[in-house]
Structure 1
Amino acid sequence: MSDITDPPVIDPRNPSEPLRIALGERYLTYALSTIMHRALPDARDGLKPVHRRILYAMRELRLASNGGFRKSAKISGDVMGNYHPHGDAAIYDAMARLAQDFNVRYPLVDGQGNFGNIDGDNPAASRYTEARMTAVAEAMLEGLNENAVDFRENYDGTLTEPVVLPAQFPNLLANGSSGIAVGMATNIPPHNIAELCDACIHLIKTPDARDDTLLNYVPGPDFPTGGIIVEPPENIAAAYRTGKGGFRLRARWQVEDLGRGLWQIVVTEIPYQVQKSKLIEKIAELIQTKKIPILGDVRDESAEDVRLIIEPRSKNVDPDVLMGMLYRTSDLEVRFSLNMNVLIDGLTPKVCSMKEVLRAFLDHRREVLQRRSAHRVEKIDHRLEVLEGFIIAFLNLDRVIDIIRYDEDPKAALMREDWGKDHVRAMNEKDYVSPLAGEGELSDVQADAILNMRLRSLRRLEELELLREQSALMEERAGLEDLLENDDRQWDSIADQLRATKKQFGRDWAGGARRTTFAEAGVVEDVPLEAMIDREPITVVCSQMGWIRSMTGHIDLTRELKFKDGDGPLFTFHAETTDRLLVFGSNGRFYTLSASNLPGGRGMGEPLRLMVDLPNEAQIVSLFIHKPGRKLLVASTAGDGFVVPEDEVLAQTRSGKQVLNVRGDVRALVCHTVTGDSVATVGENRKVLVFALEELPEMGRGKGVRLQKYKDGGLSDAITFESVTGLTWLDPAGRTRTETTLDEWVGKRASAGRMAPRGFPRDNKFN
């Protein structure tokens, strides 16, 4: 029986087996590489490898925040050639993003030139822009030359690069991060450094603090573009506790008074990662399609700051109602998702809570402190060794000069000489172990230092300075030893460093104050159309060819109107701008129009088919004003029909709502308002049938039931009426006739009926 660690047995007769294993191994390698070395940030410094290498390369180029700029092409070239063997375009894009103050809360790169803008324009080519580090980036790098972190070889083994940066503040949360790996992704919003430092200090004092307690210090994200977070506090707490959630973010706006009752809305901050140009295009589209009738105009008056002007169609509009509708239909309100999936120890991806991320940062800072302190102790020991040699030289100056002048090998002679033990005993009293090679003998380092000493250093003043320096170093070394041996002192030191960072990048620092505020979302109720539009009388005119328009005021309906050649009136009626119109097509579908959206009456109007998706082969059967609560009688040429509530035929989209089902050559023919208790139908054979309305079913959609039976032909018209008042029609002479004695034509639904009475219209229509 083989051991479980043995490699899988490959069947030579199965050629797919090696390929399957090879693909599995290679894909796993690719996935791990993407997760660890490209897409997910490190929880300790909050950086991905490309960003870390950019900052390190700029440090090697000595591009300090108070120094000069260098061409971006030079920087991206050095990063690509020395540390990051990928495309220079990808490196430059990553560097440019670190310089965009609308994308990064605390920019790490100080850019000079065109680095893009909030409209979504791309940065200029790398040969046209220049860059250097910011003070924030320098805080990320401080301690690199003090053995604060581990270094590893670069991709070709010719140089070394840091595995992680020391990072004075929790950059992962301060600047946020986003990335898509293989099978996982991350999306972290930016936060305020001062608040993060306070949370870290609290976590140092109370290591077992609850996640919700940290919200007293970090209430939520702090986006570089500002805005207002309207997410409920309980949702924010759950997001930070689990590492997954989201934040609703709205634009910041105010009402600007223009005098005489006029006003406009000024948007001064837009949501994070929303391109201003696309936002304006979306709002302009809403105006063009009239999806928000109370919205009048939008224009961009932005300069260095954001200033979007939104004008209402009427001064009587409520600004809160207008903005509430814009929140629903545009990116003036967005939802920023939180997925805190990070490399918690530089190796393992994990979805972390805010407490876990801050704890990972603090543990990293403690390791950095210990390594820097140990490195400083080594430097002090080396300097004390040199200082001891100098002091020996001063105490025995004549003998040292004599050896240097006359001995053939002064270094060896200095090291052989016995210089006594008094100075060694004095230093040992301060818990310092002398590095002397033997009993009062000089070490190799001390001998070299004495030989390299300048003659001008032999002054009495220099000797006193050496003694003072030795005393100060001994005191500093004792403090560092105590620090390395005491955990509480280490955490106190880290807390002091965080307080210093908070002071450096807090409220008094340019851009340090919180930009994003919090508010309650409020409930934006559905506002009826009538409340959003000024109520004005209009006259709706629809031609036989389907051109529709609205004329201001209630004009005389008998007045002669202009139409295109070969066209004429089909429907003309009085309405108001707040009305909704229903269009019934011969395809059995109802379409809904807003009277306020109809084109003006100066021209011939616009084709109705451009406003709704009415097929070219379908005809307009009926056009009328919608009145809630009414019922309609609908019927097809085949003689099938039913009653439908008018409220159920309203359509929300251009495609309309199918109500009467028709197939083949059958088409919708009748749509009349239900009034009375009886139904009268007439066929193409001029036979009339009258039956009770209660025999017709009430349906929302369908083919319906048979109204009248025909041997040949079909239905010509159908109408409802009150049996007491009788059935009315116009005779061929244009006179109104009313027939109250209808017993001859009364029958059961779906019967054949009797021939129409004398004087019935020749077009077989009741109206």
Structure 2
Amino acid sequence: MRAEAEKKTPKKQGGGGGASGAAGGGGGEGFIPASLAEEARRRYINYALSVITSRALPDVRDGLKPVQRRILYGMWNDLNLSFDTKYQKCAQVVGAIMGRYHPHGDASIYDALVRMAQDFSLRYPLVDGHGNFGSLDGDSAAAYRYTECRLDKLATEMLGELERKTVDFRPTYDGTRNEPIVIPARVPQLLMNGTTGIAVGMATNIPPHHLGELVDALVALIENPALLTKDLLKFVKGPDFPTGGQILNDKKELREIYEAGQGSIRIRGEWDTEELKRGGQQIIVTSIPYTVNKSTLVAKIGDLVRERKLPLIVDVRDESTKDVRIVLELKKDANAELVMAYLYKHTPLQTTFGVNLTCLVPSEDNPEVGTPKRLDLKSILQYFLDFRFGVVTRRFQHELGELQKRVHLLEGFEKAYDALDEIIRIIRQSEGKQDAAQKLMARFKLDELQVDAILEMKLYKLARLEILVVQKELKEKRAEIKRIEGILRDKKKVWSTVKDELGEIKGLYNDKRRTKIGGAGSEEVEFSADAFIADEDAHVVLTRDGWVKRVREVKDPSSTRLREGDAVMTVLAGSLKANLVLFSNFGTAYVTRFNDIPASTGYGDPVQKLFKFDDGERVVAAWSLDPRLSAPEKLVGVTKQGMGMRFLLEPHLEVSTRAGRRYAKTGEGDEIIGVHEAAEKDLLAVLTKKTHALVCKVAEVNELAGPGKGVTVIKVDDDDQVVEFLVTAPNQKDARIDFETQKGRKLQLAPAKYGVTGRGGKGHEMSKRDAVADVSRNVVFIPLPEKKD
């Protein structure tokens, strides 16, 4: 850029970067001012295009990314590492590829090389690795100075036609060599092994497939180009992952995925049971989903067992060798289907594979630069067939040219044998090779190639029988030329050749499908969380500062372990299988199981750890929903600003998400101070900070059909707020709010003795020019009913 600027802009004499340089943008002399935004945009687009077309996405024709293509080509062309040669150090391969073809660092090259050698990553490995190339447990491959490699036999099927000018070449990054734009792959590598890549603004995630099924689909498409994706799915049943497993999607879902070029495939590991000699049985996991780390899976199952979330499992062992064998030893009389249903839901033993059939499609204007497109199944197969048609055509054209060259030479030999004595005389009388060549071309009407071949011919070929050999070869070569010319004139014959070669590939490399297709049967046991929860009673302790824990029993709430300055607010009793509901000051109800509250002998956990609380949100009330306890039908809540709302408990009986369910709405700066059980004939007593008290009938508070702000129970001044409220039956004389004022007065608000008025007033001031200093609150603890003998 600087050199270009210097040509256009004459250098000024004298003072260097003075005022004129500053006015021009601060670049000094020899630079052209440019917009930072425009330059950033241009360079980012260039970077994005480079990543998309030259690194992250595979080509639809040979199914390879540039780094993979360069590794295979370098091993074939430069290092001669065929499947029947000796292994060579991977360090030598990586160095050769990086120095000659792919200057992007040794790590990226070696990672790609390792992946092409892993039989758990590629359905059909292209590199034959010798040494430690990683494992299903997530172990990394050894350093490239310790490992060795060579091409797998299948890879030679992709590279064998390179010498026949079947594909175009381009200069390498430094211009010292040429490399193929694509390799003439005889196998549908893109779908056969799949690929994963993340570009800029797009990505690809293509699952591997069974080679035999792909060949059948390709042959069917050659015979009937009008076939649609849905027709091709009669041959391609679905992905075939190298680690096996079972695909749960039905045929309709798979069809939608292959027609759209994207979707999610649900895959799970397979299992079987073994009977133990001492009685009982154990589960044997025989396959795991694709890309799942086996050691992580085993550790996850072990954690569930240690946390007593899987009490039906006694022991977990990984006895895998080359094949997967994860042993889950069960308790006697345990239901294996039930255990697996839990594992499928809570571990990576069942996962999803996000399909994204995006790849580079050659453009008509510039075949060297592909265009990223998301394709359906038929389009991918058709692109491959069109590519193979072109490769086979060019191969025949190359063979025809070579045959024609040979025939041309043989015709020269034939002329030479017809006048052998005269040719020998001319050569003997000539003054050298050049003179002899000129005389022979003039006498027998031969060209330079023919004459040169005659002059280089060895003496033993002048024997009488050699003319018969020449004539026989000439006859064979002319027949072969005629055959190839006939093929090139008829597209059907070229397609027939493509089809026959695909059949040969299937015959050589076809194997059994590893991944089963089809969803779970109707007899499969559905997951039930209750089946894995012990039938025991427990207590949940909730503190005023928002700490919660589960304990076996509570004899005295005041003796439980608490943080300094904290106090017990509520103790809930219930079965581990029962639910409990927590009401927050922001109008949200959170429902969970007793079993999901962490057990602890210490302080417990912050309640925010279990749910998605907003800033300042806290629990103001809680209820056990154990069926042995009579849960209230209706509840009433009161806010600081004197609003009241009645609502049903019924919508809050089932387990909620971490975000909870709304039961009320609060105004700006307002919050709910508590929630109490409320019957239709009950009284509601409200106390404010300034000792204003009001008692009204609960029935006057409207019942909400959905989350709302409610109605005014008591009017409070801007500098006042509700501090406590009470709901009680009209005849319950011992129900009261005990509080102490700032002047030291100890007062009681007893609804049975206090005058009942309508809601919405300012209430009666219980202590003139005074304020509430402290309110006595009892721990809410409703124990479970005692079991009857």
Q: Note the 1:432-471 alignment, pairs <5 A.
A: 440=444, 442-457=446-461, 462-471=466-475
CA distance in 1, matches of 2:451, 2:716: 127
> Which deviates more, 50-59 or 665-674?
665-674
Q: Note the 1:77-226 alignment, pairs <5 A.
A: 77-226=95-244
> 1:718 and 2:726 equivalent?
yes
Q: Is the 8 A contact 1:541 1:569 kept in 2?
A: yes
Q: Is the 8 A contact 1:416 1:441 kept in 2?
A: no
Which ranges in structure 2 are unaligned for 5 or more consecutive residues? 1-22, 26-31, 737-750, 767-774, 781-789
Q: Is the 8 A contact 1:176 1:187 kept in 2?
A: yes
> 1:727 and 2:750 equivalent?
no
Q: Note the 1:341-740 alignment, pairs <5 A.
A: 341-345=359-363, 346=367, 347-349=369-371, 350-391=373-414, 408-409=431-432, 412-413=435-436, 416=439, 440=444, 442-457=446-461, 462-507=466-511, 513-520=512-519, 529-538=529-538, 548-551=549-552, 575-583=574-582, 590-598=589-597, 603=601, 606-607=604-605, 609=607, 612=610, 622=622, 624-626=624-626, 630-635=633-638, 641-649=644-652, 652=656, 671-675=675-679, 677-679=681-683, 681=685, 692-699=697-704, 704-705=710-711, 718-721=726-729, 726-727=731-732, 729=734
CA change 1:319–1:411 in 2 (3 A) is same
Structure 1 counterpart SS, 2:97: helix
- Cα root mean square deviation, aligned: 4.9
CA change 1:485–1:415 in 2 (3 A) is farther
CA distance in 2, matches of 1:609, 1:292: 24
Structure 2 counterpart SS, 1:196: helix
Structure 1 counterpart SS, 2:552: strand
TM-fit CA distance, 1:383: 2.8
Structure 1 counterpart SS, 2:136: coil
User: Which amino acid in structure 2 is aligned with residue 148 of structure 1?
Assistant: T
Return the TM-score normalized by structure 2.
0.75
Q: Is the 8 A contact 2:319 2:326 kept in 1?
A: yes
Report the equivalent of 1:423: none
TM-fit CA distance, 1:465: 4.0
Output one character per residue of 1:194-247: Cα deviation in whole Å (capped at 9) or x when no partner: 2222222222222232332222222322222333223342343344334x2223
CA distance in 2, matches of 1:258, 1:359: 50
Q: Is the 8 A contact 1:717 1:764 kept in 2?
A: no
CA change 1:23–1:263 in 2 (3 A) is same
CA distance in 2, matches of 1:19, 1:676: 71
User: Which amino acid in structure 2 is aligned with residue 378 of structure 1?
Assistant: G
TM-fit CA distance, 1:499: 0.9
Q: Is the 8 A contact 1:643 1:698 kept in 2?
A: yes
CA distance in 1, matches of 2:266, 2:513: 15
User: Which amino acid in structure 1 is aligned with residue 648 of structure 2?
Assistant: P
Q: Is the 8 A contact 2:342 2:528 kept in 1?
A: no
TM-fit CA distance, 1:149: 1.9
CA distance in 1, matches of 2:679, 2:335: 38
User: Which amino acid in structure 2 is aligned with residue 551 of structure 1?
Assistant: R
Report the equivalent of 1:433: none
CA change 1:408–1:202 in 2 (3 A) is same
Q: Is the 8 A contact 1:403 1:414 kept in 2?
A: no
> 1:256 and 2:273 equivalent?
yes
Q: Is the 8 A contact 2:316 2:326 kept in 1?
A: yes
CA change 1:487–1:321 in 2 (3 A) is same
Report the equivalent of 1:427: none
Which ranges in structure 1 are unaligned for 5 or more consecutive residues? 1-11, 418-436, 508-512, 732-740, 756-761
CA distance in 2, matches of 1:355, 1:526: 37
TM-fit CA distance, 1:531: 4.8
TM-fit CA distance, 1:163: 2.4
CA distance in 2, matches of 1:199, 1:135: 23
CA distance in 2, matches of 1:564, 1:247: 48
CA distance in 1, matches of 2:332, 2:577: 14
Output one character per residue of 1:52-104: Cα deviation in whole Å (capped at 9) or x when no partner: 22221111210001111222222222222222333233222222222222222
Q: Is the 8 A contact 2:243 2:287 kept in 1?
A: yes
CA distance in 2, matches of 1:616, 1:298: 43
Structure 2 counterpart SS, 1:727: coil
TM-fit CA distance, 1:30: 4.6
CA distance in 2, matches of 1:527, 1:647: 25
CA change 1:713–1:313 in 2 (3 A) is farther
Output one character per residue of 1:447-497: Cα deviation in whole Å (capped at 9) or x when no partner: 444444444445566554444333322322221122222222211111111
User: Which amino acid in structure 2 is aligned with residue 606 of structure 1?
Assistant: G
User: Which amino acid in structure 2 is aligned with residue 87 of structure 1?
Assistant: G
User: Which amino acid in structure 1 is aligned with residue 61 of structure 2?
Assistant: R
Output one character per residue of 1:130-154: Cα deviation in whole Å (capped at 9) or x when no partner: 2211112111111211222222333
Output one character per residue of 1:29-65: Cα deviation in whole Å (capped at 9) or x when no partner: 5554444333333222222332222221111210001
Count of matched residue pairs:
711
Return the TM-score normalized by structure 1.
0.77
User: Which amino acid in structure 2 is aligned with residue 533 of structure 1?
Assistant: I
Q: Is the 8 A contact 1:621 1:668 kept in 2?
A: no
Q: Is the 8 A contact 1:53 1:84 kept in 2?
A: yes
CA distance in 1, matches of 2:619, 2:450: 107
Q: Is the 8 A contact 1:411 1:451 kept in 2?
A: no
CA change 1:252–1:763 in 2 (3 A) is closer
> Which deviates more, 342-351 or 247-256?
342-351
TM-fit CA distance, 1:20: 7.4
Structure 1 counterpart SS, 2:254: helix
Q: Is the 8 A contact 1:105 1:224 kept in 2?
A: yes
User: Which amino acid in structure 2 is aligned with residue 191 of structure 1?
Assistant: H
Report the equivalent of 2:355: 337
CA distance in 2, matches of 1:279, 1:114: 22
Output one character per residue of 1:703-743: Cα deviation in whole Å (capped at 9) or x when no partner: 6555578999966652343x6xx426499xxxxxxxxx969
CA change 1:468–1:540 in 2 (3 A) is same
CA change 1:609–1:385 in 2 (3 A) is closer
> Which deviates more, 584-593 or 681-690?
681-690
Output one character per residue of 1:298-327: Cα deviation in whole Å (capped at 9) or x when no partner: 664443333445678996567368537744
CA distance in 2, matches of 1:86, 1:216: 42
Q: Is the 8 A contact 1:195 1:218 kept in 2?
A: yes
Q: Is the 8 A contact 1:246 1:337 kept in 2?
A: yes
Q: Is the 8 A contact 2:167 2:184 kept in 1?
A: yes
Structure 2 counterpart SS, 1:187: strand
Q: Identity, % of aligned pairs?
A: 35
